[in-house]
Chains A and B, each alone.
Chain A
Amino acid sequence: MSADETEMQAAQWLAREDRGLTPEESDALDLWLGASSLNKVAYLRLKAGWQRVDRLAALKRPALRVSERAPIVLPALVAAGLVLMLAGGAWYFWPALRTAVDTSSYATAIGQKQEVRLSDGTRLELNTNTRVRASVTATVRTVTLDEGEAYFDVVHDAARPFVVYAGNRRITDLGTKFSVFRYGDDVRVTVREGRVKVEILGQAPQPVVTDGGHEVVTKGGETLVLTKPDADIADDLSWRSGMLVFKEQTLAEAADQFNRYNTRQILVEGNARKIRIGGSFKADNVDVFVLLLHRGFGLSVNDQGDRILVSR
């Protein structure tokens, strides 16, 4: 029996009670109430609610004002919400606008994110622990990703290609939205829309050109192009909303992800590293993640302050 069904039965009983029960009905109600605590609490709850409605009697005279007054509440709330949203929006975009200069460096600390708007209109979102240098001139637009991860929403300009340098790779935008992650020499390019060209610096040009729904993974001289469903691309880019999304990943991999965003590091030991997990988490919510590992998997969690040991 679902909660709604139970509630509906309780309401029917109370409605009958409200009009007056026959002795037989009264007995049947007692039976129903005695059958389960779920019935009982549903009944008590609605009964109390229905009694509260008695206060409406205060409206009896003068004439009912019910329908004139109530609607004021909702628009007022909506208006208040709108003001908050506008204020929030201004707060959010203002720093980005302020930092829009031609040649600049931008950096985020661990756990931080930052949005940057370049003077050509291109928008960058920097993920945790990221350093970039951007240069926009009349002839060239370049961003060098020294460390970390950034999402690019590039305003296309055929006369001024947009180039991202990451490690030994050059990524040339052909009008698109994409994300570049660099960890040492490993570079991963996730393309959401449009096309990009990925080249190795200092080598005979054998560029890989790829479009939306693909990911380019490079390591040293190797380049791998993967096809990814939109949903997976969205997962890869979930950091933009502060979330980490895992799908059948090992606990060791998940911990690595968390560790990118937090100074408190998770160390997974022994065969617990191989446990596969999924789900989405707030990147900054380490406590909850390890709590869940403890409660859900019975793993032992040893919180030492700056690091958290997780093991079987």
Chain B
Amino acid sequence: MVQIEDWFVREVLPLEAALTRFLQRNWRNEAEINDLRQETYARVYEAAQRERPILVKPFLFQVARNLIIDRLRKQSVVSLESVADFDWLNVSDDRPSSEAHVAARQELRLLQSALDELPPRCRQVVVLRKVEGLSQKEVAARMGVTIETVENQVAKGMRLLTQALGGRRGVVTSQSRRFNFLRKPRDVR
């Protein structure tokens, strides 16, 4: 069980930036990207419990693709706008998976800019906790706030930073495209 968690963290999660790009290209509704990503992860995780895929990246993308197709099928009215540019045709994402092994320097730079975009109080908590290495309790004392506040800001910072590291910054504005519909055949016997 723990092995599978290690595998997931080591092999799958580093692909998040690529996965996010893939989902954004293939699904118009920006608001649903998080949802698709999480569902993709859950499916990969469950599949890996039965059998560990050998090639992780193609497998991850295949799962994402199938998920998109499933979603389209489930809707009796299918929004074709959702599937944007249909990049799933290009089965393999050929980009070298450099994002899996970002150089330490680059990672630090990425973190710095992500950190800088945090709301001020959240940033202060993260800096005290992660850079200065204070405990949550010490952070609370230093800032003169309750430990609950620190805990909430930690939770918030964790989400925003993980999001930024995974290729999305805060709220991503999506193009407001009109939705059109592909209907299931009705007038055909």
Across the interface, do A45 and B13 meet the contact criterion of CB distance under 8 Å?
yes
Query: Is A69 engaged at the interface, CB distance under 8 Å to the other chain?
Result: yes
Query: Is B147 engaged at the interface, CB distance under 8 Å to the other chain?
Result: yes
Across the interface, do A57 and B112 meet the contact criterion of CB distance under 8 Å?
no
A59-89 at interface with B (beta carbon < 8 Å): 59-60, 64-67, 69-71, 73-74
B98-128 at interface with A (beta carbon < 8 Å): 104, 107-109, 111-113, 115-117, 126-127
Across the interface, do A53 and B137 meet the contact criterion of CB distance under 8 Å?
no
- CB < 8 Å: which of B79, B130, B159, B180 contacts A57? B130
Across the interface, do B180 and A279 meet the contact criterion of CB distance under 8 Å?
yes
The tally of residues in A whose CB lies under 8 Å from a CB in B reads 69
Report the minimal beta-carbon distance from B59 to chain A, rounded to whole angstroms.
15
Query: Is B145 engaged at the interface, CB distance under 8 Å to the other chain?
Result: no
Query: Is A56 engaged at the interface, CB distance under 8 Å to the other chain?
Result: yes
Across the interface, do B131 and A64 meet the contact criterion of CB distance under 8 Å?
yes
Q: Given the interface contacts A2-B35, A271-B188, does A46 sit within 8 Å of B85 by beta carbon?
A: no
For residue A18, which residues in chain B have a CB less than 8 angstroms away from its CB? Answer: 129, 136, 151, 154
Across the interface, do A15 and B155 meet the contact criterion of CB distance under 8 Å?
yes
B144-162 at interface with A (beta carbon < 8 Å): 147, 150-152, 154-159, 161-162
Across the interface, do B38 and A46 meet the contact criterion of CB distance under 8 Å?
no
Dominant secondary structure of chain B at its interface with chain A: helix
Report the minimal beta-carbon distance from A280 to chain B, rounded to whole angstroms.
5
Query: What separation, in Å, do the CA atoms of A58 and B109 have in the docked complex?
Result: 11
A-B contacts at CB below 8 angstroms, number? 189
Query: Is A288 engaged at the interface, CB distance under 8 Å to the other chain?
Result: yes
Q: Given the interface contacts A18-B154, A50-B161, does A296 sit within 8 Å of B85 by beta carbon?
A: no
- CB < 8 Å: which of A11, A41, A50, A74 contacts B38? A41
For residue A279, which residues in chain B have a CB less than 8 angstroms away from its CB? Answer: 79-81, 180-182
Query: Is B89 engaged at the interface, CB distance under 8 Å to the other chain?
Result: yes
Report the minimal beta-carbon distance from B174 to chain A, rounded to whole angstroms.
15
Query: Is A307 engaged at the interface, CB distance under 8 Å to the other chain?
Result: no
For residue A54, which residues in chain B have a CB less than 8 angstroms away from its CB? Answer: 130
Closest chain B residue, CB of each to CB of A7: B159
Across the interface, do B182 and A278 meet the contact criterion of CB distance under 8 Å?
yes
Closest chain B residue, CB of each to CB of A52: B165
- CB < 8 Å: which of B35, B37, B79, B180 contacts A246? B180
Report the minimal beta-carbon distance from B127 to chain A, rounded to whole angstroms.
7
For residue A40, which residues in chain B have a CB less than 8 angstroms away from its CB? Answer: 42, 45
Across the interface, do B130 and A53 meet the contact criterion of CB distance under 8 Å?
yes
For residue A74, which residues in chain B have a CB less than 8 angstroms away from its CB? Answer: 113
Query: What separation, in Å, do the CA atoms of A61 and B166 have in the docked complex?
Result: 27
What is B's interface to A at a CB cutoff of 8 Å? 5, 8-9, 13, 16, 34-35, 37-39, 41-43, 45-46, 69, 72-73, 78-81, 83, 85-86, 89, 104, 107-109, 111-113, 115-117, 126-127, 129-133, 135-137, 147, 150-152, 154-159, 161-163, 165-166, 178, 180-189
Q: Top 5 A-B pairs ranked by shortest CB distance? A: A49-B162, A279-B80, A70-B116, A11-B155, A41-B41
16 residue pairs from A and B, CB less than 8 Å apart: A3-B38, A4-B35, A7-B34, A7-B159, A11-B155, A15-B158, A16-B151, A18-B136, A41-B8, A41-B42, A44-B8, A44-B9, A55-B111, A56-B108, A56-B111, A292-B80
